[in-house]
Amino acid sequence: MRSMGNIIAQRINNYYRNAYLDYGVTGECINITAGISFIEITWKENGETHSMRIANEMDETPEQLFYIWMEERE
């Protein structure tokens, strides 16, 4: 079974593959750190590095965390 971080990273990288094809946006997941009650995602988009910490106290699934990242990253 793949870890939560690997699943989210794969989803983010797939997201950027499609974003490049559709809009010319480049990006990739750089790192995911899982804490006791949070997950921190670091990614690069169009050459700029970004980071986001998401509270994970409700034991969200990797899919839910990916969608939170996608909606909040802008």
Per residue in 46-65, pLDDT (tens digit) is 999 999 999 988 889 999 99
Question: Measured between alpha carbons, how far is 40 from 22 in angstroms, rounded to an integer?
Answer: 27
The pLDDT of residue 58 is 83
> 38-45 and 48-55 as β-strands: parallel, antiparallel, unpaired?
antiparallel
Q: Does pTM surpass 0.85?
A: yes
- Helices 62-72, 4-23: axis angle to 10 degrees equals 40
Contacts of 12 (CB under 8 A, 6+ apart): 27, 28, 29, 41, 43, 66, 69
Q: What is the DSSP letter of 55?
A: E
